[in-house]
Amino acid sequence: MSKRSCLAIILAAGEGTRMRSDTPKVMHPVGGRPMLGYVLDAARAAGAGRMAVVVGPRADATRRFVESNKISAAIHQQRERLGTAHAVLAARKELAGQDEVLVLYGDTPLVTSKTLKRMRRALARADVVVLGFRPADPARYGRLIVDGKQLVAIREFNDATPAERAIDLCNAGVMAFTAAAARLLGKIGNANAKGEYYLTDLVELANASGKTVVALEADPQEVLGVDTRMQLAVAERLFQTRARRQAMEGGATLIDPDSVFFSYDTRIGRDVVVEPHVFFGPGVSVDDAAPPRPQVMNGALKDGEFSKAIKEGNLYMVVVDSIGFHTSDA
């Protein structure tokens, strides 16, 4: 990974009105953890040495999460919701001395450090990198207008021509840019119907100043933004699918994968057999199994490390001292 310094700005000021909740949107959990936590982890793993979280006026829960988890991130407040560029500039003092900037969204919990590293590598040959995706239904997403290898504009659906609406490469919102491009942020205006400052306008400003702007494509599932309870359920399903696959690729056996549910920090060792209908709460790990293999049976496991096996009849089971874990007689 590049030795260039990198600032990650995570936009987390959205009120999430469509969630119909008193909980800040980015604090809704996926896999037992606030969505914001995954984004911070991905940014850190991608090499961001400095991080800033931009919150709204009513963000006590978000502040507490960042502080209580000892996450090394500065918190900045966007007092008025005047657009994404305005939100980024709420953290303007963090830009000093940074070679690169990543702009992420706190409601995209499935974004990976692998993708963010790709974006940073692309900055070796570009000034601005925009993440795109091809959804099954492009619907009303902004379209990425590419000419050759140059991304020339991000066109909002309402402003797009019929030909532009036919483009299926859409804007995921995630962006990376160099310090030179960051200096253009102050030139973004608000001459639009909403009177807001849009980060997407950086693309045309960079083009006008002769800078290289490129688009990278990501898996649509990875850039899923959560605005509703239905989308939260989709994110949870995708998270569980990813966690189950990782467990099995790591050597665990899941008899019925779709009925096993993991938390963000679940660790399952090699040769462990997980039977159907098991829920792993936060803080659970099961060590590698020596033959005969321990089996995790139907029930709920909570905090603890389970590294021993006991035998009942011909069945070896993980030792569990947790309320809510049930086994059948062997």
Average pLDDT, the chain: 89
Residues 225 and 246: their CA atoms lie apart, in Å, by: 23
Compute the average pLDDT of residues 195-224.
Answer: 97
Compute the average pLDDT of residues 190-200.
Answer: 91
Check: CB of residue 35 under 8 Å from CB of residue 107.
yes
Check: CB of residue 120 under 8 Å from CB of residue 45.
no
Q: Is the dihedral of CA 81, 82, 84, 89 positive or negative?
A: negative
Compute the average pLDDT of residues 235-244.
Answer: 98
Residues 107 and 19: their CA atoms lie apart, in Å, by: 12
Residues 169 and 23: their CA atoms lie apart, in Å, by: 33
Confidence band for 330, pLDDT divided at 50, 70 and 90: very low
Compute the average pLDDT of residues 201-222.
Answer: 97
pLDDT per position as a tens digit, 277-325: 999 989 888 888 755 455 666 566 666 555 444 334 444 445 444 434 4
Q: Which residue has the higher pLDDT, 190 or 140?
A: 190
Domains and CATH numbers, the chain: 6-217 (3.90.550.10), 250-318 (no CATH)
Per-residue pLDDT at 141 exceeds 60: yes
- Give the model's pLDDT for residue 197: 95
- Give the model's pLDDT for residue 291: 54
Nearest by Cα to 99 from 5, 9, 175 = 5
- Give the model's pLDDT for residue 288: 82
Nearest by Cα to 138 from 120, 117, 113, 156 = 156
pLDDT per position as a tens digit, 80-128: 999 999 999 999 999 999 999 999 999 999 999 999 999 999 999 999 9
Give the per-residue SS3 of the chain.
CCCCCEEEEEEECCCCHHHCCCCCHHHCEECCEEHHHHHHHHHHHCCCCEEEEEECCCCHHHHHHHHHCCCCCEEEECCCCCCHHHHHHCCHHHHCCCCEEEEEECCCCCCCHHHHHHHHHHCCCCCEEEEEECCCCCCCCCEEEEECCEEEEEECHHHCCHHHHCCCCEEEEEEEEEHHHHCCHHHCCCCCCCCCCCCCHHHHHHHHCCCCEEEEECCCCCCCCCCCHHHHHHHHHHHHHHHHHHHHHCCCEECCHHHEECCCCCEECCCCEECCCEEECCCEEECCCCCCCCEECCEEECCEEECCEEEECCEEEECCCCCCECCCCC
- Give the model's pLDDT for residue 302: 63
- Give the model's pLDDT for residue 222: 97
> Which residues are part of the catalytic machinery?
18
Nearest by Cα to 89 from 186, 8, 206 = 186
pLDDT per position as a tens digit, 1-27: 568 999 999 999 988 889 999 999 999
